[in-house]
């Protein structure tokens, strides 16, 4: 089959696809030229990440397509149900990037509690002249150990984050409409493992009892002004799921009032042009949607996509 990886693919994924005898193109085709390219080249499978959309018009206009693959978790850039109604195979790689996203969230947490997100901005500018003042301003850090992390959405990524947080000495509670209490097994480098039970306390208790709250749901306006009002003073929020799950305007107001001490954001409402007032807020630790952007995750994504193509 002829495969177009329009948003790129790892070297190991490309090798796996080609080793199975498929013809792979990694040409980056502009969105408005994709239909013509797919038809001219008679592409059987298109692989995308978040940059390329596959909507009803493309599905109808490209009869050669047999499959659509998304390298990652969410498939909101694909008209999934319509494609499946038309007989196309639609697949993603939900497990491949779980650990990578979880580690990024932990990175944001650790950065925020020790002010590294701001220190890394200010030290190059004023570290040589205001070292003492900066030292004083960053002297009220807190430790993660003993704090409560509330996780909204306890799927693969939420559970991967929970394991890291437990390893850091945190208490973990969660809210999920599909899961009851969950037993997690933490595995260590020497082959030992230990089990922990995480409690589904419901959404309201996550809001009211947590020192840190991380959201891992596929979308929606989940946390706004009324939800923020229920939280502890000085809570820290984290969103590496979808832009808008935490309402940005309400978050900025809560940061200004001190209700929220800080937030880590990897996703934004207006990607790829996030609001400047969000990017410039000194209480925010921000990254450009890189949750799955590790070499290991990209290797896993590529080889999983190759297996799906073989199945087609």
Identify the CATH number of the domain in which residue 262 sits. Answer: 3.40.50.720
pLDDT tens-digit profile of 140-190? Answer: 999 999 999 999 999 999 999 999 999 999 999 999 999 899 999 999 999
250 phi and psi angles, rounded to 5 deg: -65, -35
Which pLDDT band, with edges at 50, 70 and 90, does 94 fall under? confident
Note the pLDDT tens digit of each residue in 199-229: 999 999 999 999 999 999 988 999 999 999 9
| pLDDT class of 32 with cuts at 50, 70, 90 | very high
Q: What's the angle, vertex CA 292, arms to CA 260 and CA 167, rounded to 5?
A: 60
Are 73 and 134 part of one and the same domain?
no
Residue 305 has pLDDT above 90, yes or no: yes
Q: For residue 38, what are the domain limits?
A: 2-94+295-311
Pair 229, 114 in one domain = yes
Q: Is position 121 annotated as part of the catalytic site?
A: no
Look at residue 109 in the predicted model and tell me its pLDDT. Answer: 98
Total domain count, the chain:
2
User: What rounded mean pLDDT belongs to the chain?
Assistant: 96
- pLDDT over 90 percentage in the chain: 96
Based on the domain organization, do 86 and 169 belong to the same domain? no
Q: Which of the following is catalytic: 85, 143, 271, 296?
A: 271
- 178 alpha-carbon distance from chain centroid: 20
Asked whether residue 81 falls in the same domain as residue 131, the answer is: no
Share of the chain above pLDDT 70, in %: 100
Question: Which of 108, 242, 248, 300 is labelled catalytic?
Answer: 242
**Catalytic residue flag (residue 178):** no
- Looking at the predicted structure, is the pLDDT value of residue 72 above 90? no
- pLDDT band of residue 261 (cuts 50, 70, 90) is very high
* Vertex 117 angle, CA 160 and 289, to 5°: 50
Same domain, 252 and 115: yes
Could you tell me how many helices (H) and strands (E) the chain has, helices first? 13, 13
Domain identity same for 88 and 105: no
Which of the residues 108, 117, 216, 289 is marked catalytic?
289
124 plus 234 within the same structural domain: yes
242 among known catalytic residues: yes
Q: How many angstroms from the chain centroid is the CA of residue 217? A: 10
């Amino acid at each position: 089959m002829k495969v177009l990886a329009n948003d790129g693919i790892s070297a190991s994924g490309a090798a796996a696809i080609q080793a199975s005898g498929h013809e792979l193109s990694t040409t980056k085709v502009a969105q408005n030229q994709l239909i013509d390219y797919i038809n001219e080249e008679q592409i059987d499978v298109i692989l995308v990440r978040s940059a390329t959309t596959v909507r009803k018009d493309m599905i109808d206009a490209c009869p050669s397509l047999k499959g659509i693959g998304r390298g990652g978790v969410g498939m909101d850039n694909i008209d999934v149900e319509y494609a499946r109604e038309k007989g196309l195979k639609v697949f993603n790689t939900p497990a491949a990037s779980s650990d990578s996203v979880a580690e990024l969230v932990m990175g944001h947490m650790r950065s925020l509690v020790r002010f590294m997100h701001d220190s890394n901005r200010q030290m190059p500018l004023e570290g040589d002249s205001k070292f003492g003042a900066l030292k004083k301003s960053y002297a009220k850090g807190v430790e993660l150990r003993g704090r409560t992390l509330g996780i909204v959405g306890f799927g693969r990524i939420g559970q991967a984050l929970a394991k890291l947080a437990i390893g850091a000495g945190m208490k973990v509670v969660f809210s999920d409409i599909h899961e009851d209490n969950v037993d997690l097994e933490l595995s260590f480098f020497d082959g030992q493992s230990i089990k922990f039970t995480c409690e589904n306390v419901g959404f309201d208790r996550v809001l009211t009892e947590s020192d840190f709250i991380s959201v891992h749901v596929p979308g929606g306006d989940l946390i706004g002004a009324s939800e923020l009002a229920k939280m502890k003073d000085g809570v820290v929020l984290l969103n590496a799921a979808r832009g808008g799950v935490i309402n940005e305007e309400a978050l900025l107001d809560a940061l200004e009032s001190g209700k929220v001490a800080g937030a880590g954001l990897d996703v934004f409402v207006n990607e790829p042009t996030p609001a400047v007032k969000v990017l410039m807020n000194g209480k925010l630790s921000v990254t450009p949607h890189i949750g799955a952007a590790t070499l290991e995750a990209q290797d896993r994504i590529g080889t999983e996509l190759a297996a799906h193509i073989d199945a087609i």
